[in-house]
Structure 1
């Protein structure tokens, strides 16, 4: 990144309408949060997509969605549940195609337990990746066909390289790495993981998406930037080394604090 990056946001359509001026003053990347729930994906979501197309007319940043994640594990060993996970991912990608979205967030399968135990069983790491491939094979092909990236976000991940290895194993331009700064900071503060900037450097140019939220290292706070204890200057120094142009998505619990987070980044000289 040769100049200050432009921060985008994760918003519902309702929140986007409230913050439309901010989101359209620059080519800010957008992640829609309206399509994560099973009842939406199982129902007729076409009116919601039609509304999104109308609301987003004139938006110049990249558009993506947070994919379904409630109760889902992309390495689930139960074949019946695995089939549901595959179907949910495909449903999310149908929405992406209808929207023209270029990314969908998928949650990492790695848990804190995994970090301590995967090497305690024969081929456990390989078997986890094999299960991911079984569940994601069709969604990855679909994502390739529609020009959408599946970005794998850290949740409990203690080793920031695990997701990079998983993403690389697909050998596909449609699978990349995502980082959630608050999740990484939780893992750092509560499970002994490295700090957030280490996650960025471990991902390197495989990083195509990042959720920016502040936290205290204890829980998944989704606070406005500057309210927690993340070392943001170190994070953005690591981001500045990349050429992969990851989407910088501010993801807050209070969506009306997005303008304050962007203003804080500007005041710190980190982003615009």
Structure 2
């Protein structure tokens, strides 16, 4: 093995059946994505946890999950919706506790609209932050108690610094930053945001998680690495300057392209 950073991957428990040996042999990080749907979280998800734990017997990498996100914002203006979102996040953290997962991905509340409009409305930026704090208050406390970190992933974020400031406002080890390279590249190509490596630099050592996917700057492609136009040398150059050792998670639509993506990055001298 070389000193290149080690890649992990995101997948469902079903897909874990195929990739478990690769993950275990490389001590690679894993993000399980089977606990996103409300139907799963409202059902008997312990059976799914038990299956995952059996498959992960002997696993020594860092384990996380993608938390719920469909249909809501963590900054909803409606207090009843915020209460529901808080419940969903609590369900996600219950899964983390049962799995022994130490990270949960949640979605940024910042949008293209908010980038252009928040500062035109007095106090709007502060009120957004207050709503996020109201939504996450109990989740942060529980995450601290179980040794789990919620990482806030960029979705439409045009300014890479605003999400970092939001994470820092909690002053808690249970809230950190995630970057999705495809989302950042979309924002760069379609909304005039900085390039992907600027997102890494802005996050600094608050960065604890990265979704690695290639894209064309127009849509959220989740292509294999090398198919799109992300400047990977710039991205990994920025990552190399960090001390936070973020989890580098391949989040590819076609899991069969994981080996080719690893091979591309290894041949480029960037990751393994």
TM-score computed with the length of structure 2 as normaliser: 0.98
Is the contact made by 1:22 and 1:259 (CA closer than 8 Å) also made in structure 2? Answer: no
> Is 1:83 matched with 2:78?
no
Shift in Å at residue 21 of structure 1? 2.4
RMSD: 0.9
The superposition leaves residues 217-264 of structure 1 with CA deviations (integer Å, 9 ceiling, x where unpaired) of: 000000001100000000000000000000000001112211221111
Is the contact made by 1:7 and 1:262 (CA closer than 8 Å) also made in structure 2? Answer: yes
Is the contact made by 2:103 and 2:150 (CA closer than 8 Å) also made in structure 1? Answer: yes
Aligned to 1:253: 253
> Is 1:226 matched with 2:253?
no
After TM superposition, list the pairs within 5 Å mapping 1:11-160 onto structure 2.
Answer: 11-160=11-160
CA distance in 2, matches of 1:225, 1:72: 30
The superposition leaves residues 153-205 of structure 1 with CA deviations (integer Å, 9 ceiling, x where unpaired) of: 00000000001000000010000000000000000000000000000000000
Moved more, 120-129 or 188-197: 120-129
Q: Which runs of 5+ in 1 are unaligned?
A: none
CA distance in 2, matches of 1:41, 1:241: 38
Shift in Å at residue 20 of structure 1? 2.1
CA distance in 1, matches of 2:259, 2:91: 31
Task: Could you list the structure 1 runs, at least 4 aligned residues long, displaced by more than 4 angstroms after superposition.
Answer: none
CA distance in 2, matches of 1:19, 1:262: 14
Aligned to 2:215: 215
Is the contact made by 1:15 and 1:256 (CA closer than 8 Å) also made in structure 2? Answer: no
Aligned to 2:185: 185
SS in 2 for 1:43: coil
Moved more, 83-92 or 11-20: 11-20
Moved more, 17-26 or 74-83: 17-26
TM-score computed with the length of structure 1 as normaliser: 0.98
Aligned to 1:8: 8
Q: Which runs of 5+ in 2 are unaligned?
A: none
SS in 1 for 2:26: coil
Is the contact made by 1:8 and 1:250 (CA closer than 8 Å) also made in structure 2? Answer: yes
Shift in Å at residue 41 of structure 1? 0.2
When the two structures are aligned, how many residues end up with a matched partner?
Answer: 271
CA distance in 2, matches of 1:40, 1:256: 25
The superposition leaves residues 35-61 of structure 1 with CA deviations (integer Å, 9 ceiling, x where unpaired) of: 000000001111100001000111111
